[in-house]
Structure 1
Amino acid sequence: MASSVRIAVLLWADMLTLYALFVMMPYLINVWKLNIIRAAAIVNVFSGVATIMPIGMAFLVDAFMGDYWMLLLSSIAYSFGLSFLAMSTPHVLPDAARNCDAHKPGCIGDAQKVLFYAALALIAIGIAGHITSLDSFLKQQMEENQTLWKVVAKVCVIIFPIVGCIALPYIKPWSVRFGIPAICTVVATFLFTTGSCSYKPSGPQPEGSPLTTVCRVFVASASKMFHHQLPNDNQKEQNRWRHCSNEEMEDTKNFIRMIPMWMTFIMCGVVISIGNTYFLEQANDMNRKVGNLKVPLPIFKFFYDLVKEKFLKLDDKVTEKLKIPVRYVPTFGMMVAMLFSILCCITAAEVETRRLDVIRRLGFLDKPNEKIPMSMFWLLPQFLLLGAVDGMSNFSIDQFFTTHAPNSMSRYLKLFSHGVIGAGTVGSVLSVYVVSKVSERGGRQSWFQDTLNKSRLDNYYWTLTVMSSINLILYVLVAWWYNCKATKNEESTQPSEDGERCCCSCG
């Protein structure tokens, strides 16, 4: 039980940290005085890289490190990263404290910039390492009697989001707001290390990483193409990089056939990326009061996560009631997720149009620091729809890889889900750049200006609506092709009678 708690504290510290990092966009705009495009690019590249990296880290875990060492090293990186982030805020370093009385661009020195970008890199490593190994290592160490553990886990899962959502935003100095998660992560890492001697062994996989197998198949196929004469059997056993089994060949073929489907999922990541960037900055400029109470921005993350979890469970129940065949569950789920993404973009565009009308009517175009007398809860429906997109897409991508991916890649299933969304998040930076360049053709003003009030995010949201609609049509065509191909492959493939090796060009 003690081992499970020592590992779980890392998870609880993660919850608090993610709520603190949720407001990174307002921090960069209000404190660092960056324009919305650059701030959103930093946030999206950081988030995207942190969710793509686990695929590569899983390879390191399987081939070399094991879950324990991955957790230890990534937790240390996490601790240093959050500490650097707290130190990079104004007024912490001596030069900033001496020369600046307020948050101005001049207060951010070179040392703070170095610390900030180093912090983002280390935090990304920490997040990726925890995504890779925290869940699997916790399951390995779980004991049979888990009653007390479940009670403690449920209490902490409730407490930490409440602290992150309500308490942290009311702390004014950013150094303290980032410093508290840093302290919690350092303490959690220390507690994790105190149980090192009691953890069950968790080393690299004896068979290595399945990604190595995929690479071996490509190398062996290339070798066969350029070497017509086959080596003798002894050489076959000794040189695994030039020969592979029928099963390895088929697994690789199945993996390659999944790539076109995988590419259509990326658009959901592009839509999801606008949640903690442009949506959040819109909310930051709107009326955040309910009566006399000023509601903190992370309340949107609370509702977002709540809807995401509900849809993860609801999707499973609905597909059971509709009696959809298991192999078609991910196809149906992704279609619904894409429909939700279209509805989210339409809702966001309509709300932004209304917000801009209020700005023009009150003459706030050149007053970016004025709070708009429009409740930020106008944005709640689009956050809820975005949570539904995230929940449905994660469940469906998970199901897609579970149903169609080779069994040897079971460890990578959820990591691929994160990676697909991460690729879309990074891709959103490119989409903003392209849309900005296209919108300013013919001497027109770009839709993306230095301030939110002068920008035309409503037009960008309408563009995402069109792109998501086209992607949905493309997805239906690719899904039809994939399912037809998979059915034909199942009908034509005969099971191998023995496990002897053969040349990869066979079959």
Structure 2
Amino acid sequence: MTLVLQNLSSFLTDSLNLKLKEATTIVNLQEGLRNMLQICVALCIDAYLGYRWMLILSSLLYSAGLFLLALSVPGGEGCPSNCFKELKHTSFWEGLTLVVVGGAAQVIPLYALSFEQTRVAKSPEDCEPARVQIGCFSAAVKESPADDNLRTRWRLCTVTEVEQTKLLLDIIPMSATFIVYGMVKSLGNTFFIEQADTMRGGTPLVLLQLIQLISKSAVNKGYKMVLGKRIQRIKRRYSDGVKIGIGMLTSILCCAVASQVESKRLKALKKKGLLDNPEAKAPMSASWLLLQFIFLGAMEGLAGDGILNFFGHYVPDSRRYAPVFTSSLTGFGTILSIGFIAIIDYYSRFRYKESWIGESVNESRLDLIYRAYVMLAVLNCFIYAYVASSYSYDNIIGRPENEQEIPVLEVQQQQETAAGDQQNKQEQEEYQLQRMPVR
């Protein structure tokens, strides 16, 4: 499914004959919504369905969405020139909606079920059990039973809840600088794919995407081995900020290299007289795109993993919701990329009397669009440097990378028999919540 969504742009432009701007908008919109909906999925899992039922539901939604997308593919000669308007008469939008919802609903259950952290154990004999209330959907310990009615009406909060709210408010300025990361990341599933589709073979697109994943993993591990440990020994609390900053610098290199490669591709088309042919293949190998895919993977391994660690350190209940916060910000940046491209289109029409985003890649000026992303990334780096230098790193909640043991929740079970009560002879189960270390 991931492979299908990564190549959705080519499917829209080749099979459905959509214009480049339309295809880019659809891809960014579905990816952004898919990431942002994970917050709603997390709340739904906690309140109603649970991980296993949500995983089953997401699989059904995925299957139905793929089936409807397959039905929307036209047969014969393909779609007419106004295929975007004709899509409303097909099952494309229904299928895409199901794919978006299914994708959002699948990430969290897969992650949670991969790291099963709840077990049932017998309570020690010398341990006095603590009574907790078991509701329909969860178990919780009431900190102020006398004021429970006021708390349910949002009139009274505990000290812990107030402190957690303050922590969330403190990370808003830093979180705002992470949005550009999502904007640059969206290029990998849109313009990068279209570039590779209009270049000669020799290097398959799947190979470029595989190299991107390898680069992401290798750079992340290399940073931890080389720089991460040294920074932690010198200034432990600044490790996440440095990692994110290096990743943002890498985003500048990624967009700059992509701009240079696209300029070379357009010159090769112009030299052969194929610049006005929307279906022409540039007389150069797709291996020229290798470096920008490597930088894109390095950016994800540095900035993406650094943002995840930042939320894991400074967000309350971070072990469950840090990936959700990261995905939501990335999705928000992807959706903002639609507006940024619209601004570039308006500027090019107003300033140069022609659009930099044509109906196809060969009729567009992606090199100039990449340069606009370079300027945006440079500006964001300066803003991030200012915000990160003034941020207080003292309110750290945990350091997962330094913890040898992960505390998780264990449900202990003890059986008691009511003494002195002849009418009630059934065994009663009392539950106690106790933290236990698990390597």
TM-score tier, shorter chain, comes to 0.7 to 0.9
User: AA paired with 2:174?
Assistant: M
Three-state SS of the structure 2 residue aligned to 1:374 is: strand
Q: Which of 1, 5, 12 is the equivalent residue of 1:28? A: 12
Query: Whole-Å Cα distance in 1 between the matches of residues 82 and 380 of structure 2?
Result: 44
Give the Å deviation of 1:261: 0.6
CA contact (8 A) 2:312 2:318 kept: no
CA contact (8 A) 1:327 1:403 kept: no
Give the Å deviation of 1:320: 3.7
Three-state SS of the structure 1 residue aligned to 2:37 is: helix
CA contact (8 A) 1:353 1:458 kept: yes
Q: Structure 1 443/432 Cα, relative in aligned 2: closer, same or farther at 3 Å?
A: same
Query: Whole-Å Cα distance in 1 between the matches of residues 88 and 253 of structure 2?
Result: 41
Match of residue 427 from structure 1: 336
User: AA paired with 1:264?
Assistant: T
Q: Does 1:70 align with 2:57?
A: no
Q: Structure 1 120/432 Cα, relative in aligned 2: closer, same or farther at 3 Å?
A: same
Q: Structure 1 438/238 Cα, relative in aligned 2: closer, same or farther at 3 Å?
A: closer
Q: Structure 1 76/141 Cα, relative in aligned 2: closer, same or farther at 3 Å?
A: farther
Q: Structure 1 239/284 Cα, relative in aligned 2: closer, same or farther at 3 Å?
A: closer
Match of residue 468 from structure 1: 377
Q: Structure 1 443/352 Cα, relative in aligned 2: closer, same or farther at 3 Å?
A: closer
TM-align CA RMSD:
2.6
Q: Structure 1 298/241 Cα, relative in aligned 2: closer, same or farther at 3 Å?
A: same
Match of residue 103 from structure 1: 78
Q: Deviations over 1:33-52 (max 9, x none)?
A: 11111101101111111111
Query: Whole-Å Cα distance in 1 between the matches of residues 330 and 160 of structure 2?
Result: 30
Match of residue 139 from structure 2: 206
Query: Whole-Å Cα distance in 2 between the matches of residues 395 and 235 of structure 1?
Result: 39
User: AA paired with 1:282?
Assistant: Q
Match of residue 200 from structure 1: none
Query: Whole-Å Cα distance in 1 between the matches of residues 252 and 357 of structure 2?
Result: 21
Q: Structure 1 50/432 Cα, relative in aligned 2: closer, same or farther at 3 Å?
A: same
Q: Does 1:388 align with 2:298?
A: yes
Three-state SS of the structure 1 residue aligned to 2:171 is: helix
Match of residue 268 from structure 1: 181
CA contact (8 A) 2:254 2:292 kept: yes
Q: Which of 196, 206, 213 is the equivalent residue of 1:305? A: 213
Query: Whole-Å Cα distance in 2 between the matches of residues 239 and 112 of structure 1?
Result: 45
- Listed as ranges, the matches of 1:84-123 within 5 Å are 84-91=68-75, 101-105=76-80, 114-123=90-99
Three-state SS of the structure 1 residue aligned to 2:178 is: helix
Query: Whole-Å Cα distance in 2 between the matches of residues 60 and 418 of structure 1?
Result: 17
CA contact (8 A) 1:90 1:107 kept: no
Match of residue 346 from structure 1: 256
Give the Å deviation of 1:104: 3.2
- Listed as ranges, the matches of 1:206-355 within 5 Å are 206-207=139-140, 237=150, 239-289=152-202, 295-324=203-232, 325-355=235-265
Three-state SS of the structure 1 residue aligned to 2:139 is: coil
CA contact (8 A) 1:88 1:113 kept: no
Q: Which of 127, 136, 157 is the equivalent residue of 2:112? A: 136
The TM-score, its normalising length taken from structure 1, stands at 0.69
Q: Which of 353, 356, 361 is the equivalent residue of 1:447? A: 356
Say which structure is richer in strand.
2
User: AA paired with 2:220?
Assistant: L
The TM-score, its normalising length taken from structure 2, stands at 0.80
Query: Whole-Å Cα distance in 1 between the matches of residues 303 and 46 of structure 2?
Result: 27
Match of residue 24 from structure 2: 40
Q: Structure 1 260/114 Cα, relative in aligned 2: closer, same or farther at 3 Å?
A: farther
CA contact (8 A) 1:236 1:243 kept: no
Q: Structure 1 377/60 Cα, relative in aligned 2: closer, same or farther at 3 Å?
A: same
Task: Report the number of matched residues.
Answer: 376
Q: Which of 101, 112, 118 is the equivalent residue of 1:125? A: 101
- Listed as ranges, the matches of 1:489-504 within 5 Å are none
Q: Structure 1 206/357 Cα, relative in aligned 2: closer, same or farther at 3 Å?
A: same
Q: Deviations over 1:347-406 (max 9, x none)?
A: 011111111111111111211112111111101100110011111122101110111112
Query: Whole-Å Cα distance in 2 between the matches of residues 427 and 111 of structure 1?
Result: 24
Q: Structure 1 38/107 Cα, relative in aligned 2: closer, same or farther at 3 Å?
A: closer
User: AA paired with 2:254?
Assistant: C
User: AA paired with 1:24?
Assistant: L
Match of residue 314 from structure 2: 404
The alignment-based identity, stated in percent, is: 33
Q: Structure 1 141/299 Cα, relative in aligned 2: closer, same or farther at 3 Å?
A: same
User: AA paired with 1:363?
Assistant: G
Q: Structure 1 24/320 Cα, relative in aligned 2: closer, same or farther at 3 Å?
A: closer
User: AA paired with 1:124?
Assistant: V
Query: Whole-Å Cα distance in 1 between the matches of residues 366 and 254 of structure 2?
Result: 14
CA contact (8 A) 1:282 1:452 kept: yes
Give the Å deviation of 1:106: 6.8
Structure 1: where are the runs of 5+ without partners? 1-16, 92-100, 144-202, 209-232, 290-294, 488-507
Q: Structure 1 255/465 Cα, relative in aligned 2: closer, same or farther at 3 Å?
A: same
Say which structure is richer in helix.
1
Q: Does 1:80 align with 2:80?
A: no
Query: Whole-Å Cα distance in 2 between the matches of residues 204 and 302 of structure 1?
Result: 41
Q: Structure 1 29/357 Cα, relative in aligned 2: closer, same or farther at 3 Å?
A: same
Q: Structure 1 313/484 Cα, relative in aligned 2: closer, same or farther at 3 Å?
A: closer
Query: Whole-Å Cα distance in 1 between the matches of residues 283 and 230 of structure 2?
Result: 45
CA contact (8 A) 1:330 1:399 kept: yes
Query: Whole-Å Cα distance in 2 between the matches of residues 464 and 471 of structure 1?
Result: 10
Structure 2: where are the runs of 5+ without partners? 120-135, 397-439
